[in-house]
Structure 1
Amino acid sequence: MISQRTAIRLSDGRELIYFDETPGADRTRWPDTRHLPPPPPTSQLRYDPLVDEWVAVAAHRQTRTFLPPSDKCPLCPSTREFASEIPAPDYDVVVFENQFPSFSDRVKPDEITSLTDMVPVRPGVGRTEVVCFTSDHNSSFGTLPPARVRTVLDALADRTTEMSALPGIAQVFPFENRGIEIGVTLSHPHGQIYAYPTVPPRAQAMLRAARKHAEHTGGRNLYADVLAAEQKAGVRVVAGNEHWTAYVPAAARWPYEVQLAPHRQVADIPALSDAERDAFAPLYLDVLRRFDALFGKPMPYISAWHQAVVGEGRDLGYLHLQLFSIRRAADKLKYLAGSESAMGAFVNDIVPEAAAQRLREAI
């Protein structure tokens, strides 16, 4: 659990927050000594009328750091030889504004408002943050102790609360990308948090389905009913405890996909009780170990927290974590080719029941 929270400003004005597990650290004695240029303006949102979706265009992200050597890692603690994004010589968990943000509150004064009569344009006002899970460059989330996982969860709760209160935020999305196969450009164990200015397409689809289910069932929650059905069937359940169940969805899109859901409907991470936060760590670490054990090597994955939207439809949300990998065999990846990329129609190579069985037997 977090014993001390300390916020500072980096040399370019971005916010950085230390979440310490023991009190007493004077983080202000370690200022950012770099001379950085001002942060870039925010992205541009362009409306696609053909699918009723907004697309962010963030050209400044082309120059973001790409697979630096370990002694030049911007997420490691700073040393005398190299000043990183974290000024202190050590840390537990750190969160800071992304230097190359997909969304921010820095709006160009000459922002255009349309490209054609059909394509309005607006600033991508929001927030993008980086979450460093540990100062150990060679570690991974799966090797963290349960107490550190709890610290990360508490930090995500803190950031979700603050980012949800920002003007114009529609949804807060914490996630982790792991592995170069996923497209990771920094190997240090870290995640990100996006505060979206619009409700993303996946969340919109989930809201439509949840609203339809509620209308047809007298107000029942869709995810709660799906979870209850999976618990009853049992065949796709991978593991569980008093407060959480981990299961492979019956219609999984990805070769290996697990959802971890609390047994109580809550909107977001801040709404989890202390007992639920404590119970999450051992179950999630167990599932991550099973992923790595499947093929005897680190599994590339995306870990995505689905939280309720901030505005209309919030009552329909049900917090859950979606963990999935594009690896379908020891030497094969699942590429999103024609059907998936062009049409959004997934074809899964692994039967979900078989995936669940393999994960149960992996350890």
Structure 2
Amino acid sequence: MVEYRYLGNSGLKVTEITYGNWVTHGSQVENDAAIKTVHRALDLGITSFDTADVYANTAAESVLGEALKGQRREGLEIFTKVYWPTGPGGPNDQGLSRKHILESINGSLKRLGTDYVELYQAHRYDYETPLEETMQAFADVVRSGKAMYIGVSEWTAEQLQAGHELAKELKFQLVSNQPQYSALWRVIEGKVVPTSADLGISQIVWSPMAQGVLSGKYLPGQEAPAGSRATDEKSGANFIKRFMSDEVLTAVQKLKPVAEQAGLTMPQLAIAWVLQNDNVAAALVGASRPEQLDDSVKASGVKLDADTMSAIDEALAPVAVTDPEETYSVSPKSRPA
């Protein structure tokens, strides 16, 4: 069964393999298949589920809510997010203003079919709204009982520090950050992780398999397999492009014997690698079919020895992105039009 970790400096435990429905529910996968996949996650011991209002323009939250209907609510940990445009995308249908946050949490709860979420996350940093306004709105969400904890996504070290200070003043807990992190994308290691560790903030990492590249299914010099993420604009083809060079794909193939030596599949190796970082509370995994989760959950509890970690570093060092300055380019400097 999947193991649990504490989320930040809090008493909340989450499954270290957390189910995320970014590119599947409401768009790529039919609802019946999505519901079956959520039920398989539950059968495998996953109790933590991550979504966002922007996924499939709110449809992903509705599908997740339907899939979790009838489950014991106290046995689940549900996360959602606010920031990106939803609905018709009007000027106040986005960002981290008080208006958008308070309206968005109500919409998310209705779609999810619950009175509260365990974790409500700022999906990006909003440069157009005073941080004090954003954090006060989050404090009110917590005080109203609509969220137990507050998290963020892709914030820089300095933004985390400033947000933590305001949260402390307002007497609520900022417990998590949700960045992209994998053996190919390590930009949080330089500043974000050390700062987070000092502040009692955990990482809930997305794309631990680098959008599937670390599964080894993409081969240098060959076309991407039909139906794979790299060929499907709905499932994040734009995100995977940065990893699709022959140089990267050749380096990834060097991990195959490393995984075999460790007794793991390549996807399991990729997920286990991010979980070796003590500041990581959970790795987000998605699935378009229930059986895909059977492989992913076997990464839970895996301890990679020093030789295996060194072999991964050696194989990917020439192509892994490590520059901490990359963390400053993720949040838009102005709200999306």
Same fold (TM over 0.5): no
Normalising to structure 1: TM-score of the pair?
0.24
Which of 1 and 2 has higher RCO (CA within 8 Å, sep 6+)? 2
Task: Judging by fraction of residues, say which structure has more helix.
Answer: 2
- Larger gyration radius, structure 1 or structure 2: 1
Normalising to structure 2: TM-score of the pair?
0.25
